[in-house]
Structure 1
């Protein structure tokens, strides 16, 4: 079902599409977060709506977008710096920096605990939980700017190291770090104008190669089995009933990639993601980010962009980020 990747799109369109796609997928999902699939199917999301779960106006985005914007701001202002990313997370959580309406209304337990540790003086790479039960999607949801930046500026081994470190600020278990790494390699391949199926093959080969060749990543190598369906199976052949849209990092990445594989455009992809139910804002954000990179900024409905909270601020930040990326090439 996947359409041809428009290979004439500039990096600017793909990157801006990814950033806005993440925010829009997040905002579409916020009003229906935690609603089960059976219920949402009876009254599916068809566009921007408000209130619902978090009682927020239409176009409101959540922690997913706020934390992604923290990374975006960090790499734009000072380059790649884990300590700075972490302190911007603290500023978001404690001061409502880069929020839709100047208030924090949604945060995961593991994320809150890690940021509290950083605020108390922990080093960022010591703050995230390494417990197997702390493999929520709280680092994957925000990872797109890190993935794009490292895809453009780093070699493969450095990409793995830095994307994994960015995850570890809040989610340090190797399964969570690997999910962000796979996501980053997929984005790197999509930025090359590859079709989704070819991008997945390329991402799988690059992940395997780096994890095989570098002993420092042996803990992530042992987690590859959990991502088998994404990297090696024909995921596009799965029925929607086989796709889980929970807050577990593996489920979220699998659901987002399935939506991308089984859709023919941006709008179909993000609505399909949100209408899976449950962790709608994050599945929507991850799917929307990938879809925006694949189909470009121009594929996003203008009325959705205009409804998005602080869309002018997001646009300005995206343009500045693109400028940094263009200068680095």
Structure 2
């Protein structure tokens, strides 16, 4: 397996493992996790969505939808990604975030950006800075060779559902880090370079965030950065995020995507990869993204 494909597979499998782990503890507090599970180190399913062992959530589903949309039409990705979103929504998934479900439910005029704007002002009380676009944006950094194109498409895919600029700003920082790591930069170095001078540079002090690990994109990003900058291995990242609770599936997935990208597929623990119910689809999409990126 060549260098780039190893990185791409590491990113998507690393993401899905974090999602499957964190899905067990989502919406629980740290104390509730301890009482119910002790300390979650394995993919066991269950949780609020009654997941099967190895089942992932909307985080992985929407990430794969973004990837499939890009693969379908990389030149006009927004339209193709939107088609994948609507197909997924029509399948009746267990979990769809409030912001995303509102936009998908009201999408009927062919314009994602206008629908997201309308949802922001008319239905969601101008509260669209959730982490739902951050959780799905990683395939863009894996597919495109030019960083300016990565940034432009990353912003557009966020604006499809999340009108608040805090959401797309987080996505761009995240995908800039991913792009540089994919092209050989050290993960922690890339993070430090990209967050310096931003609202996230508090993460550079290494202290535990004072905000909850919630679905507000700024809170999510703070916790993602914390785990990535203060962990020594892939499993430290995803298991740490899993046992923090609250929006643990999304934080473990987002952090796990970058951690898996950094270590590569060949260094992910096989027992976690093999238990994933969607491993064949993740393998297929990863391989196709590798071809798209020239791997």
- Within the candidate set 291, 299, 312, 2:280 is matched to 312
Name 2:100's counterpart in structure 1.
111
Give the structure-1-normalised TM-score: 0.81
Residues 275 and 71 (structure 1), Cα distance of their counterparts in 2 relative to 1, 3 Å cut: same
Q: RMSD across aligned C-alpha pairs, in angstroms?
A: 2.1
- Within the candidate set 70, 73, 78, 2:73 is matched to 78
Name 2:29's counterpart in structure 1.
36
Note the 1:201-280 alignment, pairs <5 A: 201-204=192-195, 224=198, 226-230=199-203, 234-235=204-205, 237-239=206-208, 242=210, 244-280=212-248
How many angstroms apart in 2 are the aligned matches of 1:227 and 1:115?
Answer: 30
Deviation of 1:122 (Å): 4.1
Cα deviation digits, residues 119-150 of structure 1 (max 9, x gap): x2240122224465211101001111023224
Deviation of 1:243 (Å): 5.6
Give yes or no for contact 1:74–1:88 (8 Å, CA) kept in 2. Answer: yes
Cα deviation digits, residues 135-169 of structure 1 (max 9, x gap): 1101001111023224xx2243x332221101111
Structure 2: any 5+ residue segments left out of the alignment? none
Name 2:173's counterpart in structure 1.
182
Give yes or no for contact 1:189–1:202 (8 Å, CA) kept in 2. Answer: no
- Within the candidate set 116, 139, 145, 2:139 is matched to 145
After the TM superposition, list the runs of 4 or more consecutive aligned residues in structure 1 that deviate by more than 4 angstroms: 129-132
How many angstroms apart in 2 are the aligned matches of 1:243 and 1:274?
Answer: 16
SS in 2 for 1:54: coil
SS in 1 for 2:23: helix
- Within the candidate set 40, 43, 51, 1:48 is matched to 43
Give yes or no for contact 2:69–2:83 (8 Å, CA) kept in 1. Answer: no
Name 1:167's counterpart in structure 2.
158
Name 1:20's counterpart in structure 2.
13
Residues 71 and 114 (structure 1), Cα distance of their counterparts in 2 relative to 1, 3 Å cut: same
Give yes or no for contact 2:140–2:150 (8 Å, CA) kept in 1. Answer: no
How many angstroms apart in 2 are the aligned matches of 1:68 and 1:166?
Answer: 11
Name 2:88's counterpart in structure 1.
92
Aligned pair count reads: 286
Residues 195 and 155 (structure 1), Cα distance of their counterparts in 2 relative to 1, 3 Å cut: closer
How many angstroms apart in 2 are the aligned matches of 1:290 and 1:198?
Answer: 13
Give the structure-2-normalised TM-score: 0.90
Name 1:154's counterpart in structure 2.
146
Cα deviation digits, residues 226-253 of structure 1 (max 9, x gap): 43424xxx24x213x6363111111111
How many angstroms apart in 2 are the aligned matches of 1:28 and 1:127?
Answer: 33
